Each structure stands twice: as C-alpha cells, then as structure tokens.
Chains A and B, each alone.
Chain A
C-alpha cells in the first residue's frame, strides 16, 4: 500500500479514538474501582471517583479457602487443557495442511463444523456421558477433557492459516537431507509457527479459563472453577458487590495481562482466519 493513500489523522480522529478507548475501558475500570471500595462507598450517594482504595475485598475473597481452591482449580484446568490442546492441535493442523491421506477431507470439514458447536448444546449429553459412562463427573479430568475437545477445532483452525505460510521448500530441503516427517515437523516447521502457537495458546487459555456452563454442569463444590463460583455468588440476596468485583477482577486479570503481552499475536490470530480466507 502506498503511503499517499492513507490519509493523515486529524485531531477529530484522535478524539474519536480516545472516546472509543474510554468506552472500551469504562466497564473494566468500573469493576476495578468498585473492587477497591468499601460497602458504604459503593452504596453511597453519587458516583465517587475520589475515594481511598482498600484491598479489603481482595483480602476477604482470598482468605476464604474455598475461593483459593476454586482459583487453583481454574488454573489447573486452563493450563492443562491449553497444553493438551496445543500439542494435539498443532500436529493435527499440520496433517490437514500438508498431507493427503484417507479422511483428510472429513477431518477438515469436521474441524469447521465442530468449531461452531455452542457449548450449551453439549451440556445434556456431556453431563450424561461423563456421569453414566466415563465416570468423570465432578472431576477436574472430566472438565479438562471437554475443554480440550471444545478448543481443538478452534486451535486447528487458527494454526492452519499459519502452517500454510511455511515455505514448502524448507520441508523439501530437510527431506533431502534425510529427515523423516516427524523430524521435519518438530525441528523445522514447529519453530517457524511460534507466533501462531502463541496466538492459539492465548485463545485456548482464555476459553478454558473463562468457560462457565460446562463447568457448572460437570463440577461439585470441590472441583468448581472460579466462574462457576461467581455465578452462585450473584444469586444470593445480599450481594457483596465489592467482593464480587474483586473476584471478577481476579478472573479478568490473567487474560488481560496476556493481551498486553501479546496483542500482536492475538490480532494476527483473529484476522488469520477471516481476512486471508
């Protein structure tokens, strides 16, 4: 694109961008400030932007052993399923992109179809099968299994668009040097798609960390994840808004941190499927 075809920014465009940024950040800031307020400040008259921040809500949330357990559960589920999904997903994506084999078309169509399945559709059969056949109800393993399944099509979809861009000549050259397909994949191809893996990892972690409905159906009071706990919090009569917002912030922070660390990869991952087609 020639630079002359992009128009210069005017003060007005900066104003628009600034307002948009405020709108995007607003609710997140509301959550953070509320989590730092005392009950009396939350219910007080008028929106007060000037207040003495307190960590009392976080203290109350984190000194409750249950909450710590649920946060730990969330962390285990999200990390393990992210690792499994990436490991299985990258090899599958490579097979679909680079090989011709029996069932390749089925695999590629199934990936697209399964990416679209709403989690709510899975609640009834997954609850049934996990309870009556796999014996995995109320276990973290059960949650990890369903999250890995749910995320795999998504990861395969993202990684395909990165794998297509790997120059085939590199693989050919490695093969000439006597490398077998496994060596080619792990030593030549995998290092080249690191940005794709980063994007896929963030997407997977985010979905597993944030997921709620399947977690609600599959866990009990020992194996609950944090999003499930929050939903039970909110339907109590005396809602402790300060504490709820503190929990909300605790759930929101890991994905937000990832976003700041790797926004380039996230945007590439997001645009990969749609813009390049």
Chain B
C-alpha cells in the first residue's frame, strides 16, 4: 500500500473491502493539523522503530560482523586491527578439521535423538492422559517447572545426580544391588546421559502442546467416527493423531531448532567430554573462540551453525504457511 494513504487507509481492512467502507465524512482532513496528520500517518514506523533499532544493533549487525570476521585470521588478545584477511581459509580449515565433523555429528545425534524421544513420549502421554482428570491445572503447572529452571541449574542438578560416588542414581543403583554406572565419564554413555537430562526438561513442552491440540480437535469429526462405531484406539490412530499432526510437526520443529541452541547443560555436565563425545557445535564455537582463541575460525563455525538453523527455520515457515492456507480453505468451504 502506498505511503500517501492516510492512517484510515492503512489499518488493514477486516474484510477485503472494509477499507472502502469507511464513511467518507470522517475522512475530512480539515480538522487535522498537518503535523498531527503526519504523526498519525507515521504511526506504524513510530511503533516499530525502537524494536527495529535494538535488533539491528544487537542482532542483525553482529550477524553481519560474524560473516566479515569469518574471512579474517584473528586471535583473541591481539587488537582487531591486526587481524588479516584470509579469504575462505577459515572455512577450508573447518571442512578439513576432524573435530568439526565430530562436533557436527554429536550435534545432529543429540538434536534428532532428543526430538524423537520427546515427541514420542510427549504425544503418547498426551493421548493417554486426554481424560477428565481432576487437579489438571496443578499437574500442568508441575510439568512446566522443569522448563522454567535455568539450563545452567539443570546442568548442576543432573551433574550431582549422576555423580558416581554420592549421586542420586549411584545411591539408587547401590540400594538395588547394581554396579555403579559411569554416567558422565564413559564416552559411550555421556551423550545418552546428556540426552536424558534434556528429555527431562523438554518432554513437557511437547506433552502440553499435544494435549492442547487434542482437546481442541473438532468435535464433529470425533462424533462422526463414534457414530460409525470406531473403537477408542481406532479413533486415536485414524482421527486424532492425523488431526494433531500439524501441531506435532510445529512443536517438533521448534524443539529441533532449540536443540541446536543447547549449550549450558552440556557445558556444566561434561564440558564436551570425555574426549569430544558431547561437544555440540554451540560449545565447539565457544571453545574455539575463547579457549583456542581463534575468533575467525569460531566465526566461520558460527555461520555454519546458523546456516543449519536457517534451513530448519525456512522449513518451519513453509509448514506454517501451508497450514494457514489449508485453514483458510477449510474456513471458506464452511
């Protein structure tokens, strides 16, 4: 829409033609002072300006800077002015660095493992508990508690519980007569232990979203199936799960994107070890930058991670768009 339109024209029409339906006498501009009119016309820009400025300063510009830095050789402690342009050398180094591939593999394993386990568990529990429960709101409150705890604290607690000498699991295993398990010190187990902690924290997210989706399914479809004599599990499998699918997909994708952000829990639990067995890319970026002090290489790494997340985000956006179009079609058909 053109800028010259008055404020009246810029409020998005409720229906397709509502914009034209504004009574003409109100459009009389005589009662507006020019300055006031200009201010009103600028309203959307005034509304969005503070957020635009902050995100430009604190997000967009840093991300551009990250691209620029990724072409430079710069180590922490030397002035930025002494860094030199090295072209694609940082990226080339990355692709030949076994540590990068190791951490990429850990990241992908971690992300897909937590999403699969959390979605399966969360959806199953939602279906199981889609009943007239008492104290539902109390239980729901309890289930969101793990998500509210700082990841750093989650790391602390699980590190304590995993402790081989005096941790909670050590006591439990001992009481049951089992040998102690090297939760965090075995390269094979460490990743699984880290995944368990994430599953504890985030399964409730999928569970609550799925339950909300289940309880807002169209009654007509369920009623029709019941009249046709569908059993409970047939209804779950053939009607409820397919109808829930869009929500499950969105929730799973959100979790997947968030799984690439995980850093704190692992930083506290294992610091990426033993060896590189739990060194996910976020942590690898941090270590490259502030332990190995190679800021240019770390920037290149950051951009790789950003590309992965960007690709997932595009899928997410496409999924949402498809869903909205389908809903609009369905609404039009009604």
Contact = CB atoms under 8 A, between A and B. Distances in A.
Interface of A: 1-3, 5-10, 13-14, 16-17, 20-21, 23-25, 27-28, 30-31, 34, 42-44, 46-47, 84, 87-89, 91-92, 94-96, 98-104, 107, 109-110, 112-114, 116-129, 132, 134, 145-146, 148-150, 152-153, 156, 168, 171-172, 175-176, 180-182, 185, 206, 209-210, 212-213, 217, 227, 230-231, 234-235, 241, 244-245, 248, 251-252, 255-256, 258-260, 263-264, 266-267, 270-271, 273-275, 277
B209 interface: yes
A125 B148 contact: no
Q: How large is the interface on B (under 10, 10 to 19, 20 to 34, 35 or more residues)?
A: 35 or more
Given A1-B217, A95-B48, A274-B247, A125 B63 contact: yes
Given A28-B157, A89-B51, A121 B12 contact: no
Interface of B: 1, 3, 7-8, 10-12, 14, 26, 36, 39-40, 43-48, 50-52, 54-55, 57-63, 65-66, 69, 80, 125, 128-134, 137, 139-146, 148-154, 156-161, 165-166, 168, 171-172, 174-175, 200, 204-205, 208-209, 212-213, 215-217, 219, 222-223, 226, 232, 246-247, 250-251, 254, 257, 260-261, 263-264, 267-268, 271, 281-283, 285-286, 289-290, 295, 298-299, 302-303, 305-306, 309-310, 312-313, 316-317, 320, 323-324, 327
Contacts of B327: 277
Contacts of A1: 215-217, 219
Contacts of B44: 95, 99-101, 104
B141 to A, nearest CB: 4
B75 to A, nearest CB: 12
B309 A118 contact: yes
A266 B204 CA distance: 13
B309 A116 contact: yes
Contacts of A113: 310, 313
Which applies to chain B's interface (DSSP): helix, strand, loop or mixed?
helix
A68 B14 CA distance: 53
16 contacts: A23-B200, A27-B146, A87-B50, A89-B51, A91-B48, A94-B47, A95-B48, A98-B12, A113-B310, A114-B59, A119-B261, A120-B263, A121-B63, A128-B65, A149-B59, A259-B148
A104 B52 CA distance: 11
A182 B209 contact: no
Contacts of A212: 150-152, 263-264, 267
Nearest to A147: B58
B277 to A, nearest CB: 19
Nearest to B63: A125
A49 B142 CA distance: 21
Interface centre among B143, B148, B267, B303 (most CB of A within 10 A): B148
B65 A118 contact: no
B181 to A, nearest CB: 16
A120 B305 contact: yes
A277 B57 contact: no
B266 to A, nearest CB: 11
A270 B215 contact: no
A9 B145 contact: no
A87 B38 CA distance: 23
A265 B3 CA distance: 37
B48 A181 contact: no
A27 B209 CA distance: 23
B280 to A, nearest CB: 9
Nearest to B314: A113
A46 B174 CA distance: 8
Contact of A234 (B7, B150, B159, B317): B159
Contacts of A30: 157, 160-161, 168
A91 B42 CA distance: 13
Contacts of B223: 2, 5
A126 B290 CA distance: 13
B131 A99 contact: no
Contacts of B51: 88-89, 91-92, 152, 156
Contacts of A255: 148-150
A150 B59 contact: yes
A28 B39 CA distance: 52
A180 B156 contact: no
B47 A176 contact: no
A9 to B, nearest CB: 4
A47 B139 contact: no
Contact of A217 (B3, B290, B303): B290
Contacts of A175: 8, 11
Given A34-B160, A96-B48, A175-B8, A5 B59 contact: no
A99 B11 contact: yes
Contacts of B289: 123-124, 127
A54 B46 CA distance: 55
B175 to A, nearest CB: 7
Interface centre among A23, A42, A149, A180 (most CB of B within 10 A): A149
Contacts of B263: 118-120, 212-213
A47 B168 contact: yes
A46 B264 contact: no
Contact of B146 (A28, A47, A127, A271): A28
